[in-house]
Structure 1
Amino acid sequence: MKPSNQRRVVALPYLMMAVVAALDLLSGPEVGFLPLVALGPAFASLAGGVRRTVLIGLVALMLCVLLSAYNNVLGTTRGFTSLASILGVTAAGMVAAAGRQRREKELADVRSIAEVAQRVLLRPVPRRAGHLRAAVSYTSAVAEARIGGDLYEVVTAPGGARVIVGDVQGKGLEAVETAAVVLGAFREAAHDEADLAGVSSRLEKALNRHLSGEEFVTAVLAEINPDRTVTLLNYGHPAPLLVRADGSALFVEPAEPVPPLGLASLGPEGPVGHRVTLAPGDQMLLYTDGVTEARDRRGAFYPLADRVSLLREDDPEAALEALRRDLVTHVDGPLHDDAAMLLLRYLG
């Protein structure tokens, strides 16, 4: 909850009791606003703990006694009924506040576990990958989860590096589990296999053991070579965006589309690797469809190619953060899908 909203919720019980007291004083004893003083402890359970609810309940009782004396109903059935109402609502508020505090603690524990899982599953990428500088950004559609079905990894080697950015079909814990399978297989195969085709074959085998039915994972695999080239294999994933030093941008589309990982039996054996040569100042952005399919309130998709000017920041992390903030501003609300971005910048 935002601090301004938190302050409003904290002040709400006192405001309600003040309004009820004013109405009671202005309308006279005939109308009977006294039972509404119980709104104070009722709203107290929305913020704060049991002690605060008890404190506001005591304030409500004192106010009720004063108003009962003013209305000449102190000691009457009407006065006792009002006091009983406040006591009952205060007791219910105490129970509600205790339950809310327990749920908040459980949520804090879940967040802590999610943060640990994020560090294990989506660990920070190395700042340098061969002759490239790397930066990453991940925004989960479920704010409390912190992690989802998007995945990324950079595995460095003496001759360069290998990169993957992918998107698991589906949501929730099953998607996170599948992402863990892909990342585990990639981290191992990236060190062992002689080429990207071997890496992708290992990923396909790992997914075949894990997935069932028509589940799949779209992905782009990249190999950063010592000769200033990047080899790409695209498995049904959004095409990487190549941004040249002069500011021009183009999407690096595969020569022939192939099915995602996990659906190899439905199409060709695999994509044909295509190479892109980089020059000083060039950048390559790999991302998931949560970026390009993000819509604003009018239904317009995020114009990624028109936002390449945001990547001119000297620091790659700052450039990627500027792009992420612009994406969130475009949506003007919570994202409907996870959004992962990995930026590779040629160092020269």
Structure 2
Amino acid sequence: MESRMRSQTILRSLPFAVMAAVALVDLLAWPGMGFMTLLTLGPAFAALSGSVGYTAAVGGIAIAVSLPLALYEHVLGEQQNAVTIVSIIGVTAASMLASRLRARRERELANVRLVAEAAQRVLLRPVPRRAGDLRIAMSYTSAAADAQIGGDLYEVVTTPRGVRLLVGDVQGKGLDAVETAAWVLGAFREAAYDEAELSDVGERLETSLSRHLSGEKFVTAVLAEVHEDEISLLNFGHPSPLVLGADGAVRRAEPQEEAAPLGLLVLGSPRPKPYRVGFAEGDQILFYTDGVIEARNARGEFYPLEQRTGILRVDDPQAALDRLRADLLAHVGGPLPDDAAMLLLRRQRS
């Protein structure tokens, strides 16, 4: 926001700086060199950020500046001066039209962004900060500029059978990936409430995706259900979550057998089996997508997530996850090449 305001200030002052520079050069140059016509740059630059009225005002100032310069060069009332004034008027009129068209497109873009943001809020709803004895934090970084969503997805729902959640990653990028993410989230939100077993939720997702996906597209995902001192996991080819014990130990919550992603089970691949890991008071579990662990720095080194989990051992889970995200971005040194989602659960009964 600050840099954008600075850029706007620079753009609004640019027409006056350019006209001042032209006037100075014209005064210092040999008479008759004809630099006055460059005053047309004033209204031309004004159209980049200013309104129609602002652009017209800058054009008027350009004409006002040209008159004393013409007087200084002894061309006032001559053909050269007339050409300069006509040029300024012509460029100002064209710039006013360009300013009007730009303003219209900016309004249209603003309306499109409002609609997109509303759709994004529906697709990826904010997760609850508390659910029973759980404290929850979420971080999502889209690889697409100015976008809030991409191919990564997440959801946390409180059902009659407890808290259930989903973290996943759609193969591919762009609008197709967003559409598939919406399909998966819609199916999960229904199945999480309807199905008694976590494996049945996974079957519903697979059935839904088999009707939607084509070719060899797929979605890696982890489903989870929180129990007393444990958490059940169902892993469809997704990076295994990290369990951060209250004692300081860090371990991967890996399944006994690898399973295929959603969308590929119809090819006869083995189905995942639910498994449980300990999740007691003070423990944390971090779900993430491969955009986190595959992020590289300038030397090509992957982000060492397991070595950085100590960042998460602070009081506020969301503040901890924000710090981990900042550390990830600092490691990359720029925008992430892929979407990166992280979901942190902390068991805290008090």
TM-score by length of 2: 0.93
Q: Distance in 1 between matches of 2:232 and 2:184?
A: 20
* SS of 1:213 mapped into structure 2: coil
How far apart are 1:211 and its partner, in Å? 1.1
User: Is 1:102 aligned with 2:88?
Assistant: no
How far apart are 1:247 and its partner, in Å? 3.2
User: Is 1:26 aligned with 2:28?
Assistant: yes
How far apart are 1:179 and its partner, in Å? 1.1
Alignment deviations for residues 295-325 of structure 1 (CA, whole Å, 9 cap, x no partner): 3334332222222122122111111122222
Q: Distance in 2 between matches of 1:289 and 1:195?
A: 27
1:134 alignment partner in structure 2: 136
1:346 alignment partner in structure 2: 347
**Stretch deviating more after TM superposition (196-205 or 102-111):** 102-111
**Stretch deviating more after TM superposition (97-106 or 327-336):** 327-336
* SS of 1:13 mapped into structure 2: helix
How far apart are 1:80 and its partner, in Å? 1.8
CA contact (8 A) 2:210 2:266 kept: no
1:308 alignment partner in structure 2: 309
Would the alpha carbon gap of residues 84 and 294 (structure 1) be closer, same or farther in structure 2, given more than 3 Å must change?
farther
Would the alpha carbon gap of residues 99 and 301 (structure 1) be closer, same or farther in structure 2, given more than 3 Å must change?
farther
Letter matched to residue 329 of structure 1: A
Q: Distance in 2 between matches of 1:342 and 1:133?
A: 11
CA contact (8 A) 2:233 2:274 kept: yes
CA contact (8 A) 1:168 1:216 kept: yes
1:317 alignment partner in structure 2: 318
Letter matched to residue 10 of structure 1: R
Would the alpha carbon gap of residues 38 and 208 (structure 1) be closer, same or farther in structure 2, given more than 3 Å must change?
same
Equivalence map 1:191-202=2 (5 Å): 191-202=193-204
2:334 alignment partner in structure 1: 333
**Stretch deviating more after TM superposition (112-121 or 239-248):** 239-248
Q: Distance in 1 between matches of 2:331 and 2:98?
A: 38
How far apart are 1:222 and its partner, in Å? 0.9
How far apart are 1:254 and its partner, in Å? 2.5
1:39 alignment partner in structure 2: 41
Would the alpha carbon gap of residues 103 and 182 (structure 1) be closer, same or farther in structure 2, given more than 3 Å must change?
same
2:177 alignment partner in structure 1: 175
Would the alpha carbon gap of residues 299 and 16 (structure 1) be closer, same or farther in structure 2, given more than 3 Å must change?
farther
CA contact (8 A) 1:239 1:251 kept: yes
Q: Distance in 2 between matches of 1:13 and 1:200?
A: 61
Q: Distance in 2 between matches of 1:146 and 1:200?
A: 26
Gapped regions of structure 2 (runs ≥ 5): none
CA contact (8 A) 1:129 1:224 kept: no
Would the alpha carbon gap of residues 299 and 145 (structure 1) be closer, same or farther in structure 2, given more than 3 Å must change?
same
Q: Distance in 2 between matches of 1:103 and 1:327?
A: 36
Gapped regions of structure 1 (runs ≥ 5): none
Letter matched to residue 105 of structure 2: R
Alignment deviations for residues 159-205 of structure 1 (CA, whole Å, 9 cap, x no partner): 42111001112222222221111111111111111211100000000
Q: Distance in 1 between matches of 2:112 and 2:205?
A: 30
Percent of paired sites with the same residue: 59
Letter matched to residue 26 of structure 2: D
* SS of 1:2 mapped into structure 2: helix
How far apart are 1:261 and its partner, in Å? 0.4
Equivalence map 1:226-265=2 (5 Å): 226=228, 228-265=229-266
* SS of 1:39 mapped into structure 2: helix
2:186 alignment partner in structure 1: 184
User: Is 1:147 aligned with 2:149?
Assistant: yes
User: Is 1:274 aligned with 2:255?
Assistant: no
Letter matched to residue 168 of structure 1: V
Q: Distance in 1 between matches of 2:297 and 2:4?
A: 23
1:89 alignment partner in structure 2: 91
CA contact (8 A) 2:260 2:270 kept: no
Letter matched to residue 32 of structure 2: E
Letter matched to residue 98 of structure 2: A
* SS of 1:198 mapped into structure 2: helix
How far apart are 1:109 and its partner, in Å? 1.1
CA contact (8 A) 1:28 1:71 kept: no
Q: Distance in 2 between matches of 1:246 and 1:109?
A: 51
**Stretch deviating more after TM superposition (335-344 or 194-203):** 335-344
**Stretch deviating more after TM superposition (35-44 or 299-308):** 299-308
Q: Distance in 1 between matches of 2:23 and 2:296?
A: 48
Q: Distance in 2 between matches of 1:201 and 1:7?
A: 56
Letter matched to residue 194 of structure 1: A
2:8 alignment partner in structure 1: 6
**Stretch deviating more after TM superposition (301-310 or 11-20):** 301-310
Letter matched to residue 17 of structure 1: M
How far apart are 1:72 and its partner, in Å? 1.2
1:203 alignment partner in structure 2: 205
CA contact (8 A) 1:169 1:175 kept: yes
Q: Distance in 2 between matches of 1:92 and 1:238?
A: 56
1:283 alignment partner in structure 2: 284
Would the alpha carbon gap of residues 45 and 247 (structure 1) be closer, same or farther in structure 2, given more than 3 Å must change?
farther
Alignment deviations for residues 242-264 of structure 1 (CA, whole Å, 9 cap, x no partner): 21223332332332222210011
